[in-house]
Amino acid sequence: MTSTTEREVGRARPRKEDAHLITGQTNWTDNIQAGGLLYMAFLRSPLAHARIERIDVAPALQRPGVVAAFTGADLADGLGSMPCVWPVTEDIVMPAHPPVAADEVRYAGDPVAVVVARDRYAAADALEAIEVDYEPLPPVLDLEGALAEDAPLVHADKGTNRCYVWPLRTGEEFDAVRERAEVTLKRRYHQQRLIANAMEPRAVAVTPVAASGEYTLYSSTQVPHIARLLLAGVTGIPENKLRVVAPDVGGGFGSKLQVYGEEAVALDVARRLGRPVKWTESRSEGYLATHQGRGMIQDVEIAATREGRLLGLKVDLLADMGAYLMLITPGTPLLGAFMYPGIYKMDSYEFTCTGVFTTRTPTDAYRGAGRPEATFAIERIMDDLAAELGVDPMELRRRNWIRHEEFPYTTVAGLTYDSGHYEAATDRALALFGYDELRAEQRKRAEGQDAVRLGIGVSTYTEMCGLAPSRVLRDLRYAAGGWEAASIRMLPTGKVEVVTGTSPHGQGHVTSWSQIAADVLGVPFEDVEVVHGDTRAAPQGMDTYGSRSLVVGGSAVHHAAVKVVEKARKVAAHLLEASEQDLDFADGVFSVKGSPEARRTIQEVAFATFTSHDLPEGLEPTINAEHLLDPDTFSYPHGTHLCAVEVDTETGQVRIRSYVCVDDVGRVVNPMIVEGQVHGGLAQGIAQALYEEAVYDDEGNLVSGTMADYLVPSAADLPDFVTDRTQTPATSNPLGVKGVGEAGTIASTPAVVNAVVDALRPLGVGDVRMPCTPERIWQAVREARS
Amino acid sequence: MTHISVKVDGTTYEDEVEPRLLLVHYLRDRLGLTGTPVGCDTSNCGACTVDLDGESVKSCAVLAVQADGGEVTTVQGLARDGEWTALQRAFHERHALQCGYCTPGMIMAARDLLRDNPRPTPEEVRQGLEGNLCRCTGYQNIVRAVLAASGQEVTA
């Protein structure tokens, strides 16, 4: 018999995913081999903006091992423009985006030709033989300058660098609340450009069956289902002849939430040559060619009473689109549009985002996508306001946040937060952190004129997860829905296959989905396998991003499992010669009320259904079930993060002394996985605060163009984190879960910068631009002193 | 082309290679030992770390010809008869990997670290693994796993 005496949900199960990863028996896209495999390499523009006067790939064909070479013009008859699926306004400017540029290059890294050769070295060598004459055009790099009347244009045919203007006005007029406010503050914050640095570089391989026109595309992608749909459109390959597989995928962080030109080119080249092809980016190539994140100027104004009651918030964003609109480039900043008010009550909110084209690598989603920027702005300005009012930053937050008895609460931005308990998370965090003791030490150091100052940073964040109700996406002009699919196959041997439309790349869905299904079905965790990431095996899905997978995809698994039990109940009732109402179901066993010896396990029912020898008259011989879940609303994780930093005012060096976070991500399926997600998120958010920036020079060259120049933090650069949780279940899904993939990244960046500024405020420093490098801190201290 | 003879994970291979061929590409593309991945092109990330004659090396920074006559151990050669090493077990039990791409290099570097320093402090583990980047875990569970594999008590 099968009995699960201990519930699976809530258990810290070590992951099923690990075995092949720790033994090297992996299936990365770059591992894929096929008979006659050819390697592709792309020649990329060395200039940020130029007209291609002449291009000749013929010399490359003379190089050893080279099979073919194509320019953008050569490929134009086989490939359409790369799609953007989020035209955020009716009058958005949507320029063409050829997968390989034919006439003009618009960022350093824009591909101009592709070489196909018998090995990767030969392909790389042959790039050098391609001749290109460029006529340089002026780069467009400054977001405000780009909007000037006489600015040079990224897309001359469009007549403007302004991609769109997207406004939101809710509550009272901001001008009116500004009028009656006793205190107003205006701040400008900069969100630097970031490079995601998933450890696995992007890769794509295509195996064609030329005779039947069928193609299998393997890609290091977060979105195999979206990729299949859109690549069918770009290449003209019928959707039902295109199979997309995301094999082992080594991290994404939004950078693989994309449909890339290289994927389309690989399909087209495989089609033209009738041979399998593969391309893997080098890390430095990826720095140019993989979309980047953030890249925003935020003008923020807050209005409050003298007692520190918030009245209103006004946000003006300039968002750097880069050179082209990729999958969701224009919508990414808007994912934060509703989140700037954070956890606070206020009467007025105005938001405007202006998308701007520049001659840089396109931007798009990066871990958090819009919400980190929103949280940074509100949490930074709350600290600035606290300083202005002379109150403790935590006290100011308490005076304004939604109290736990006020949930569900509709914010000024119009979102209804279903649940939360900011007091509980904060009280727990303050206790773990030793807030009062650290404040006392801080005062002592400041009084003693200690060169190393202590700073304390606060961040009480919320975010929205569970993308997304399809009707909301329609209202935001997103081109698709936000449902997720799950199906459960009960195999004759009693084993279970869960088929999910999510596409994990490190998140541990195989383990967590097994736990969810095992609980509902009452089968052992070990008996469940999870199938994902292959459009042939898991044909429906909306994939993995935006902390949606557990909330939407995990809930879909739960619903599908419930359906299996209900179908199995009919068969069990027949086998036990009882009515359905007289059956109990617990721990995977159907038993007849009052006669517990009359029983069938759900796995026995699966076998009986397989043989179908004795089923109720007219019953379809299956207990398999499918569920597509379109969520009604979003989920809202929250938490309190506290950071203590020591800042050396003489060298500018920052050391994180302690970092405490208490997150409320609702019910927890696997606490070990959740904690891991928080750790990784913290590391990335701290990295934005202190270390990372995609730096461009005045010509539009990426200066931080290799991993040696772009500071991805190592173990030696990060502290041990103290993490804890409160659990306020979400009310919007059967599991009570809220999502955790991005919480750490969203919360930590302002906590760290607030701490750095807090350390320096007594010296007269009011802000330090990210990343808060020693040089910038030293400069800020120097300027404040002079 | 240059003739090389290299023992990898217990098997000796004889091959003609271009002198410029990187050891990691020799392992991956010629021997099909794809357990060792490539994560960068500036030898910063350490994903390709293997053991060459008793020292951990980044196999993207070693030419295949430099391994001639040598003995290479990759992550694929660690388990014996399906039995994981203490480090592999600790990485699994302590959730020290998420996407797993850095894991082969991380395990090989940690193995070298523990050989040099069998009972490191947490700080020594952090310093010792500085040449291996992970983007998923924030390193905390990697540090815990290495400490656990060294036989030390680890809280949480």
pLDDT above 90: percentage of residues in chain B: 97
Identify the H or E element spanning A656.
strand A654-664
| A22 in contact with chain B, both atoms CB, cutoff 8 A | yes
At A468-498, the pLDDT tens digits run: 999 999 999 999 999 999 999 999 999 999 9
Would the pLDDT of A5 be above 80? no
At B2-38, the pLDDT tens digits run: 999 999 999 999 999 999 999 999 999 999 999 999 9
Pairwise CB contact (< 8 Å): B129 & A714: yes
Question: Where does A522-579 show beta strands of DSSP type E?
Answer: 528-531
Mutation target for A interface from B140, B141, B146: give the one with most A CBs within 10 A.
B140
Would the pLDDT of A449 be above 90? no
Q: How far is A741 from chain B (nearest CA, A)?
A: 10
- Residue spans of the domains in chain B: they are 2-77, 86-149
Q: Is the dihedral of CA A346, A352, A358, A360 positive or negative?
A: positive
Pairwise CB contact (< 8 Å): A18 & B92: yes
Task: Kindly list the distances between the CA atom of residue A768 and the CA atoms of A644, A704, A757, B73, in Å, as whole numbers in the listed order.
Answer: 16, 20, 7, 47
Residues A243 and A168 sit within 8 Å (Cβ to Cβ): no
| A742 in contact with chain B, both atoms CB, cutoff 8 A | no
Q: How far is B100 from chain A (nearest CA, A)?
A: 5
Q: A410 forms bridges with which residues in the sheet? A: A416
Q: Is the dihedral of CA A397, A403, A406, A408 positive or negative?
A: positive
B14 exposed, middle or buried (CB, 10 Å; 0-12, 13-18, 19+)? exposed
Q: How far is B16 from chain A (nearest CA, A)?
A: 15
Pairwise CB contact (< 8 Å): A679 & B142: no
Nearest residue of chain B to residue A742 (CA atoms) = B136
Would the pLDDT of B48 be above 80? yes
Q: How do A409-410 and A348-357 pair as beta strands?
A: unpaired
Q: If pLDDT is split at 50, 70 and 90, which confidence band does A773 have?
A: very high
Which residues does A684 contact at the CB level (< 8 Å), separation at least 6?
Answer: A253, A367, A744, A745, B135
| pLDDT for A725 | 98
Pairwise CB contact (< 8 Å): B134 & A506: no
Kindly report the average pLDDT of chain A as a whole number.
97
- Paired tokens of A42: 């792309």
A451 exposed, middle or buried (CB, 10 Å; 0-12, 13-18, 19+)? exposed
Go through the domains of chain A in sequence order and give each one's CATH number. Answer: 18-24+483-629 (3.30.365.10), 32-137+199-251+256-289 (3.90.1170.50), 368-464+635-785 (3.30.365.10)
Nearest residue of chain A to residue B47 (CA atoms) = A199
Kindly report the average pLDDT of chain B as a whole number.
97
Q: If pLDDT is split at 50, 70 and 90, which confidence band does B156 have?
A: low
Residue indicated by tokens 């399998």: A276
Q: How far is B69 from chain A (nearest CA, A)?
A: 24
Nearest to A581 by CA among A520, A607, A590: A590
Q: How far is B39 from chain A (nearest CA, A)?
A: 6
Stretch A304-312: mean pLDDT: 98
| pLDDT for A448 | 87
Pairwise CB contact (< 8 Å): A679 & B141: yes
Q: Which CATH class is domain B2-77?
A: alpha beta
The minimal CB distance from A721 to the residues B29, B97, B138 is found for B138
The minimal CB distance from A22 to the residues B28, B103, B134 is found for B103
| pLDDT for B153 | 84
| pLDDT for A596 | 87
Q: How far is B147 from chain A (nearest CA, A)?
A: 14
DSSP 3-state of A488: strand
All residues of chain B having their beta carbon less than 8 Å from the beta carbon of residue A24 are 33-36, 74-76, 104
At A510-534, the pLDDT tens digits run: 999 999 999 999 999 999 999 999 9
The minimal CB distance from B100 to the residues A26, A683, A706 is found for A26
Nearest residue of chain A to residue B27 (CA atoms) = A31
Q: Which of residues 666-685 of A touch B (CB under 8 A)?
A: 672-673, 675-677, 679-684
At A154-187, the pLDDT tens digits run: 999 999 999 999 999 999 999 999 999 999 999 9
A306 exposed, middle or buried (CB, 10 Å; 0-12, 13-18, 19+)? exposed
Nearest to A252 by CA among A461, A548, A544, A562: A544
Q: How far is A669 from chain B (nearest CA, A)?
A: 15
- Paired tokens of A302: 């807050």
| pLDDT for A580 | 96
B116 exposed, middle or buried (CB, 10 Å; 0-12, 13-18, 19+)? exposed
| A37 in contact with chain B, both atoms CB, cutoff 8 A | no
- Paired tokens of A525: 């965790």
The minimal CB distance from B138 to the residues A250, A683, A712 is found for A683
Nearest residue of chain B to residue A712 (CA atoms) = B133
Q: How far is A761 from chain B (nearest CA, A)?
A: 29
The rounded distance, in Å, linking the Cα atoms of A240 and A218 is 16
Residues B28 and B59 sit within 8 Å (Cβ to Cβ): no
Q: Whole-model pTM?
A: 0.97
Residue indicated by tokens 């824009």: A110
φ/ψ (deg, to 5) at A428: -65, -45
Residues A245 and A529 sit within 8 Å (Cβ to Cβ): no
| pLDDT for A4 | 45
The minimal CB distance from B76 to the residues A24, A708, A712 is found for A24
Size of interface A-B (CB pairs under 8 A): 189
Would the pLDDT of A315 be above 50? yes
Nearest residue of chain A to residue B142 (CA atoms) = A715
- Paired tokens of B117: 């320093």
Among left, alpha and beta (phi > 0; psi -120 to 50; other), residue A300 is beta
Pairwise CB contact (< 8 Å): A251 & B21: no
Pairwise CB contact (< 8 Å): A24 & B35: yes
Would the pLDDT of B149 be above 70? yes
Nearest to A343 by CA among A266, A275, A247, A420: A420
Q: Per-residue DSSP letters for A608-647?
A: HHHH-TT--TT--S---EEEEE--SS-B--EEEEEEEEEE
CB atoms within 10 A of CB A478: 20
| A506 in contact with chain B, both atoms CB, cutoff 8 A | yes
The minimal CB distance from B45 to the residues A507, A680, A707 is found for A707
Mutation target for A interface from B91, B92, B98: give the one with most A CBs within 10 A.
B98
Pairwise CB contact (< 8 Å): A31 & B34: yes
The rounded distance, in Å, linking the Cα atoms of A87 and A124 is 37
Q: How far is A284 from chain B (nearest CA, A)?
A: 7
pLDDT above 70: percentage of residues in chain A: 99
The rounded distance, in Å, linking the Cα atoms of A687 and A114 is 34
All residues of chain A having their beta carbon less than 8 Å from the beta carbon of residue B99 are 198-200, 249-251, 505-506
The DSSP 8-state label assigned to residue A730 in this structure reads -
The DSSP 8-state label assigned to residue A396 in this structure reads H
The rounded distance, in Å, linking the Cα atoms of A663 and A681 is 12
Pairwise CB contact (< 8 Å): B100 & A721: no
At B103-142, the pLDDT tens digits run: 999 999 999 999 999 999 999 999 999 999 999 999 999 9
At A42-100, the pLDDT tens digits run: 999 999 999 999 999 999 999 999 999 999 999 999 999 999 999 999 999 999 999 99
| pLDDT for A2 | 39
Q: A136 forms bridges with which residues in the sheet? A: A50
At A557-601, the pLDDT tens digits run: 999 999 999 999 999 999 999 999 999 999 999 999 999 899 999
| A35 in contact with chain B, both atoms CB, cutoff 8 A | no
Residues A413 and A347 sit within 8 Å (Cβ to Cβ): no
Q: If pLDDT is split at 50, 70 and 90, which confidence band does A6 have?
A: low
φ/ψ (deg, to 5) at A603: -75, -35
Residues A736 and A730 sit within 8 Å (Cβ to Cβ): yes
| A62 in contact with chain B, both atoms CB, cutoff 8 A | no
| A98 in contact with chain B, both atoms CB, cutoff 8 A | no
Task: Kindly list the distances between the CA atom of residue A221 and the CA atoms of A66, A195, A479, A543, A712, in Å, as whole numbers in the listed order.
Answer: 28, 16, 20, 10, 21
| pLDDT for A410 | 98
The rounded distance, in Å, linking the Cα atoms of B146 and B151 is 9
The rounded distance, in Å, linking the Cα atoms of B7 and B27 is 11
Pairwise CB contact (< 8 Å): A28 & B36: no
At A651-706, the pLDDT tens digits run: 999 999 999 999 999 999 999 999 999 999 999 999 999 999 999 999 999 999 99
The rounded distance, in Å, linking the Cα atoms of A471 and A454 is 48
| pLDDT for A579 | 96
End-to-end CA distance of chain B: 53
Pairwise CB contact (< 8 Å): A26 & B34: yes
| A119 in contact with chain B, both atoms CB, cutoff 8 A | yes
Pairwise CB contact (< 8 Å): B99 & A681: no
CA A62 to chain centroid: 43
Among left, alpha and beta (phi > 0; psi -120 to 50; other), residue B73 is beta
- Strands ordered across the beta sheet of A654-664: A452-462, A638-648, A654-664, A722-725
Taking every pair of Cα atoms in chain B, the longest distance, rounded to a whole number of angstroms, is 53
Q: How far is B61 from chain A (nearest CA, A)?
A: 14
The rounded distance, in Å, linking the Cα atoms of A321 and A362 is 6
Residues A775 and A715 sit within 8 Å (Cβ to Cβ): no
Task: Kindly list the distances between the CA atom of residue A35 and the CA atoms of A25, A30, A124, A212, in Å, as whole numbers in the listed order.
Answer: 21, 15, 21, 18
Pairwise CB contact (< 8 Å): A199 & B97: no
Question: Where does A347-495 show beta strands of DSSP type E?
Answer: 348-357, 409-410, 416-417, 452-462, 484-490
Identify the H or E element spanning A104.
strand A104-105
Residues B45 and B108 sit within 8 Å (Cβ to Cβ): no
Task: Kindly list the distances between the CA atom of residue A651 and the CA atoms of A285, A710, A755, A779, in Å, as whole numbers in the listed order.
Answer: 34, 21, 17, 10
Q: A647 forms bridges with which residues in the sheet? A: A453, A654
The minimal CB distance from A283 to the residues B41, B131, B143 is found for B41
The three-state (H, E, C) secondary structure of A124-155, written as one string: HHHHCCCEEEEEECCCCCCHHHHCCCCCCCCC
Q: How far is A672 from chain B (nearest CA, A)?
A: 7
All residues of chain A having their beta carbon less than 8 Å from the beta carbon of residue B74 are 24
All residues of chain B having their beta carbon less than 8 Å from the beta carbon of residue A684 are 135
Fold (CATH) for B86-149: DNA polymerase; domain 1 (1.10.150)
- Strands ordered across the beta sheet of B11-17: B11-17, B2-8, B71-73, B49-52, B55-58
Nearest residue of chain B to residue A683 (CA atoms) = B138
- Strands ordered across the beta sheet of A131-136: A104-105, A50-56, A131-136
